[in-house]
Amino acid sequence: MLIQSRTGAVVAILSLIVGYGTWGHAADPAALRYQFTENQVVSFESEHVSEFTTQAGQTVEKVTNSTRSWKQFRVVSVDSSGGAVLEPVLTRVQMQNQFNELDPVQWDSQTGDPPPQFSQVAASLNRAVARFHVKATGALVKIEPIAADVPGLPEAAKRTDASMNFLVAFPEEPVAIGGTWKERFEVPVTLDNGLVQQVTVQRQYELIEITDGIAKIRVRAAVLSPISDPKIELQLIQRTPAGEIQFDTTRGLLVSQSSKIDKTVLGAIGADSRITALGTVTEKLVDPAQSASAPRLLNAPNRK
């Protein structure tokens, strides 16, 4: 339904791939910092389920996608300020795509060759395509391409804003319970005349609580640029999820992230059209040995 640009596809693949602080009294502001060590390997397991329902007149179409992925990043080097160079690698995926009630197209990267629609993801498996230079806060400094055969990667790497960062970026200053911080980035959208326009999106974070060293952080995203064209709204339909982050302040590691999307756009493909996007994303820190597990593919998300 939605067609990504070449750069957008690279961004999608990079998004598949991907401390310091002890707290005294919970009311005391404290710095949120990652603790990177050279050659450290950090592993995550992710689940992403989405469902797009398009209604135009009496015609209804539904596309469901589910992906389970295993990824890790290696700490290539650490500087004197605690910043690091990180090398993310996507190690395995299980993917499923289904249109209406047709048989789903499935692929597990450990069991066979990919169908055409999954070939670009397959080409990115088990190889580092870029290195991410980050501060101890997780803020992205720059992206260094290291693969010469990935179309669109050099252009995507020029974007060092929050949309390209697979880490959560924390503020430089200490944060108290109830404290908030924000980050803005630009999202390109295509106009009817083929020109590209930048739209500003903002994420706002709020530190909710600290329990046994685990910081719970609420995150919400919103489009700040005025939008009156439903075709542009459609391109942004997945850009404003709401969710929760858990960060281990003792180990300086993200423990988990989760987000949900439930958005509807009217009139994007005709006056009587209605397009609804439902989605959930979850990611959790795992022991590297767990990356060999093979759970079943996920079902479509349900609105709550």
- For the stretch 237-248, pLDDT in tens is 999 999 999 999
Cα 173 to Cα 5, 19, 32, 84, 183: the distances in Å are 37, 14, 9, 19, 14
| Confidence grade of residue 290 (pLDDT, cut at 50, 70, 90) | low
pLDDT, one tens digit per residue, over 108-119 is 999 889 999 999
* Mean of all residue pLDDT scores within the chain: 87
Distance (Å, rounded) from C-alpha 250 to C-alpha 21?
Answer: 6
Under a CB-based contact definition with an 8 Å cutoff, are residues 97 and 63 in contact?
Answer: yes
- Which of 3.30.70, 2.30.230, 1.10.287, 3.40.50 is the CATH number of 6-291? 2.30.230
Rounded to two decimals, what is the model's pTM? 0.84
Question: What residues does each domain of the chain span?
Answer: 6-291
**Section 257-275 average pLDDT:** 96
Under a CB-based contact definition with an 8 Å cutoff, are residues 103 and 62 in contact?
Answer: no
Distance (Å, rounded) from C-alpha 47 to C-alpha 50?
Answer: 10
Provide the pLDDT for residue 152.
81
Name residue 211's beta-bridge partners: 214
Cα 121 to Cα 95, 143, 294: the distances in Å are 10, 19, 18
Under a CB-based contact definition with an 8 Å cutoff, are residues 248 and 217 in contact?
Answer: no
